[in-house]
Amino acid sequence: MSTTEPRTAIVTGAARGIGAATAVRLAAEGRAVAVLDLDEKNCRETVERITAAGGRALAVSCDVSDTGQVTAAVARVAAELGPPTVLVNNAGVLRDNLLFKMSDADWDTVLNVHLRGAFLMTRACQSHMVDAGFGRIVNLSSSSALGNRGQANYAAAKAGLQGFTKTLAKELGKFGITANAVAPGFIATEMTEQTAQRVGMGFEDFKKAAAAAIPVQRVGVPEDVAGAIAYFTAEEAGFVSGQVLYVAGGPLD
């Protein structure tokens, strides 16, 4: 059942993981969805899942950290799917390392994709939202925003996204635009699989160990996060803005 207006959403990093689950979820709620990722070939599966269920979707190649690519991608979405008034800044990468081993490139890549990427995408979409008198922005933060060993770059980016979100809420509220952040804990995706490899553990053992420390005694799945994002993007959530929602199976210390 469609529970929302037929608006256009962009989900970045939607070829797989949390982004793919979010794109599918927003489409199921009646949004036309731009499935944006570095290479549009990798977006095909997400687009097919959406169209097979009767939804509308478009695969779009874009590096969110590149101004020219972001401008072109948002213009293409507006022309082919309609003005984007829902934006989920989800694209992300890890370059984990202890501080003394962290290279300039490790720092710059993570800050560029997460923080600069969210800034560029939001700046490119905001005029469409202002024109529509409606907008929903959701930024993917993380429990790592509270600090996490080996993730100085990622923690800084994810904490930065919380300040970015609150500022957007204050600047854009008068145009009918809300901005919120979803901060997942451990979600089973290729990203956490990569972390398991880094620490030299099998993914199943890594998940089991993580689950033991989570109050609901399981790790998250992408759909757990997609549900929280869907709430913030709904028409009914218009009075909820500038919030950070931890989706982590329990409270965090």
What is the C-alpha separation between 193 and 188, in angstroms, rounded? 7
By CB under 6 A, residue 12 contacts ligand NAP: yes
User: Who contacts 166 (Cβ-Cβ below 8 Å, separation ≥6)?
Assistant: 179, 242
For 220, other C-beta atoms within 10 Å of its C-beta total: 22
Q: From the CB of 231, what's the least distance to ligand NAP, in Å?
A: 16
Find the angle CA(251)-CA(122)-CA(22) to the nearest 5 degrees. 50
Site map (CB under 6 A) of ligand NAP, residues 82-121, x = contact: --------xxxx-------------------x---x----
Which residue, 80 or 190, has its beta carbon nearer to ligand NAP?
190
Instruction: Name 237's bridge partners.
Output: none
Closest CB to ligand NAP: residue number: 17
Q: From the CB of 18, what's the least distance to ligand NAP, in Å?
A: 4
Structure tokens at 159: 């904490």
Q: From the CB of 6, what's the least distance to ligand NAP, in Å?
A: 25
**Contact 46/20 with Cβ under 8 angstroms?**
yes
Which residue, 11 or 129, has its beta carbon nearer to ligand NAP?
11
Question: Which one-letter DSSP state was computed for residue 62?
Answer: -
Q: Which amino acid is at 23?
A: A
User: Who contacts 92 (Cβ-Cβ below 8 Å, separation ≥6)?
Assistant: 13, 113, 114, 140, 191
Which residue, 55 or 92, has its beta carbon nearer to ligand NAP?
92
Helix (H) or strand (E) holding 205: helix 203-212
The single residue of 107, 134, 154, 206 carrying the catalytic annotation is 154
Q: Is 246 a catalytic residue?
A: no
Judged by CB under 6 A, the stretch of 3-11, 77-85, 183-191, 226-234 that binds ligand NAP is 183-191
By CB under 6 A, residue 13 contacts ligand NAP: yes
Site map (CB under 6 A) of ligand NAP, residues 123-162, x = contact: -----------------x-x--------------------
Strands 32-37 and 244-247: unpaired
Structure tokens at 84: 């984007």
| Residues involved in catalysis | 154
Q: Which residues bind ligand NAP (CB under 6 A)?
A: 12-13, 15-19, 37-39, 42, 62-65, 90-93, 113, 117, 140, 142, 184, 186-187, 189-192
